[in-house]
Amino acid sequence: MPYLELSLRSTEAEQPRYERALEDVGALSVTLLDADADTPNERAILEPGVGQTPVWKSLVLTALFDADADALALLAALEAFDPELDWSTAGFRTVEDQDWERVWLDQFQPMRFGERTWIVPWNHELPAEAATPDAAVVRLDPGLAFGSGTHPTTALCLRWLDGLAGDGMLQGARVLDFGCGSGILALAALKLGADQAVGVDNDPQAVQASLDNALRNEVDGRLAVYLPEDEPEATYPVVVANILASALDALAEVLAARVAQGGRIALSGILQGQEGELLERYAAWFDDLKASIDGDWVRIDGVRR
């Protein structure tokens, strides 16, 4: 299936505003590239690692939209959303899946989160540090679904799960990964000691990617993945939701109802500045709420009353 791709130049300072505008008008994904690279093939995908911050001062943002999106209408909507930004550099082209689906894989390297958790491309050699009995290794092939572990929103959740495992809270537990994407968080939980995991996503491609990755990691018998309308009603001692702040707000009652008494929740996909309202919203059900920050992104976690 083809997509409409929008590309534009941005400074580091203005990048969050451009990204928010693109997401607001329906971008399926937004990728950041180094605008100062000598050739397009040398442009590394900007996905900061743990503890790192972006260093590029000039960037190219590429956003994907449905193929039938109207380019002129998108530009009008973007200008209306943030008229102070310069949208004159925006260019459009039609791309096939193969143009973007796999390009990140060349830049995707093994990554460690916390004490034990490793995310390793399925076709990459296992690092020596990860070749230990205690390591929790997830072999990943995200395909079309978001979630390689390199984005701060995912990294924040992986470190949280690793910390829960260190405290013994994942051992034998059932985990809900709401908005599972590639299944990365559910798979990490299983590798860290959870007994069962459930993934929920409204994208059928994410459901398939999660199931494929579960099979690759030999935990397919312990992971069930559902579209929202098929999700069984249940409560879980551990719930993680790495979705947008607007969705976290709209789904607050649903997510709170999924967490067992005394259970833990982690909410991610939150830009700095958005956490205040969500902390107040979720205080109706959760104690010990706190915010953790990675770059421009925030994770909120707490304990169900």
Question: Of 49, 44, 29, which is closest to residue 156 (Cα–Cα)?
Answer: 49
**Is 123 within any annotated ligand binding site?**
no
210 close to 223: Cβ distance less than 8 angstroms? yes
**Is 154 within any annotated ligand binding site?**
yes
130 vs 288: CA distance, rounded Å: 33
Q: At residue 34, what is the residue type?
A: D
Question: Of 178, 189, 118, which is closest to residue 148 (Cα–Cα)?
Answer: 118
Residue ranges of alpha helices (H) inside 223-295 are: 245-250, 252-258, 275-282
**Is 179 within any annotated ligand binding site?**
yes
The neighbouring-strand residues paired with 125 are none
**Is 167 within any annotated ligand binding site?**
no
258 vs 272: CA distance, rounded Å: 26
- For residues 208-234, one letter each, b for 16 or more C-beta atoms within 10 angstroms of the residue's C-beta and e for the rest, the string is bbbbbbbebbebeebbbbeeeeebeee
34 vs 15: CA distance, rounded Å: 12
Q: Which residues are annotated as a binding site for S-adenosyl-L-methionine?
A: 154, 179, 201, 242
Q: Which residues are annotated as a binding site?
A: 154, 179, 201, 242
